[in-house]
Amino acid sequence: MATNENLPPNVIKQLAKELKNLDESPPEGIKVGVNDDDFSIIYADIEGPAGTPYENGVFRMKLLLSRDFPHSPPKGYFLTKIFHPNIATNGEICVNTLKKDWNPSLGLRHILIVVRCLLIEPFPESALNEQAGKMLLENYEEYAKHARLYTGIHAKPKPKFKTGAISESTTALNVDQTNSSALNADQKITAPGAALPVISASPSPLAPITVTRGNGQDQPAAVAPVETGVSGCAASAAATTTTLRKEGGLAKAQADKKKIDARKKSLKRL
């Protein structure tokens, strides 16, 4: 499950909300995925826009978020090799939105849309790939040829992100945060060294309950034996049956004695 120790709780909360929104309503041509072990790494598959040399390609990129996001912009990298003026050979992305034009109010959705628009309209004036930038300015057809070649070789459709993975991750993350908050609250309420009494979860009906005190000594609690459940009912029924049998036997003996006395009186008269 996600640990996300690289980001503070307030950033995680905002990020989980944005990721869920992107999962439920993804931007056109963009699908987002997450790293379950670290939410500071966001993945996205970007479809090459129609009418560009990147058409029919799928380009995977990642965004690296810092601990003070969104006050500072994330860093963007293309993991798929691409021939583009504003994307370096190591995948680094040069776009003003991630640099001087960054604003904390901008979210992940805006960043991803801007990067996809960069595939439609490159800016050779601020090129990280000088060859691609120069080629775009001097011979567009040659530039488009190179870009299509890279697309055909490297930008083949990627295995799709698991459907609902973001929702599962953010749900698990929220549950984890809730459990952590509850644990912290319990730790604050319980004073150090003051252990709470521990009582057996399901004591035997006839066994004395033992209470563990804070000093580590076991003391028996005075509890009267209690008969419960089916066993108690069976014992009561058995006792009642025994009593009835005794009473019946006594009545029969008294009747027999009366008969014998009556016979003796008859014999005396004769």
169 contacts: CB under 8 Å, gap ≥ 6? 2, 19, 34, 36, 39
Q: How far is CA 35 from CA 22, 70, 91, 168, 266, in A?
A: 15, 19, 19, 12, 110
Q: Parallel, antiparallel, or unpaired: how do β-strands 75-78 and 210-212 relate?
A: unpaired
Residue 230: both structure tokens together: 């089916």
Residue 178 maps to a domain = no
Residue 220's pLDDT is 47
Scored b (16 or more CB within 10 A) or e, 201-214 reads eeeeeeeeeeeeee
Residue 132's pLDDT is 96
Residue 168 maps to a domain = no
DSSP 92: B
Residue 109 maps to a domain = yes
DSSP 82: -
Residue 262 maps to a domain = no
Residue 134 maps to a domain = yes
Residue 242 maps to a domain = no
Residue 6's pLDDT is 72
d(CA 120, CA 84): 11
Residue type, 139: N
Residue 126's pLDDT is 86
pTM for this predicted structure = 0.61
Catalytic residue flag (residue 117): no
* Residue listed under structure tokens 């583009």: 84
Residue 63's pLDDT is 95
Residuewise pLDDT in 10s, the chain (270 residues)? 445 567 888 888 888 899 999 988 999 999 998 877 788 899 999 999 999 999 999 999 999 998 889 999 999 999 999 999 999 999 999 988 898 899 989 999 999 999 999 999 999 988 999 999 999 999 999 999 999 999 999 998 877 766 555 555 555 555 455 554 444 544 444 444 444 333 333 333 333 434 444 444 444 444 444 343 434 444 444 454 455 455 556 666 666 666 666 655 555 554
Cβ atoms within 10 A of the Cβ of 140, count?
11
Report the DSSP beta bridge partners of residue 46: 30, 59
Report the DSSP beta bridge partners of residue 43: 33, 62
Catalytically annotated residue among 2, 12, 42, 94: 94
Residue 179: both structure tokens together: 């459990």
Query: Which residues form the domain of 59?
Result: 9-155
Residue 267's pLDDT is 52
Residue 208 maps to a domain = no
157 contacts: CB under 8 Å, gap ≥ 6? 58
Residue 221 maps to a domain = no
Residue 191's pLDDT is 45
Residue 143's pLDDT is 97
Read off the CATH number of the domain in which 48 is found: 3.10.110.10
Residue 262's pLDDT is 62
Q: Closest by alpha carbon to 104, among 74, 84, 126?
A: 74
223 neighbors 204 (Cβ within 8 angstroms): no
Residue 113's pLDDT is 96
How many domains are contained in the chain? 1
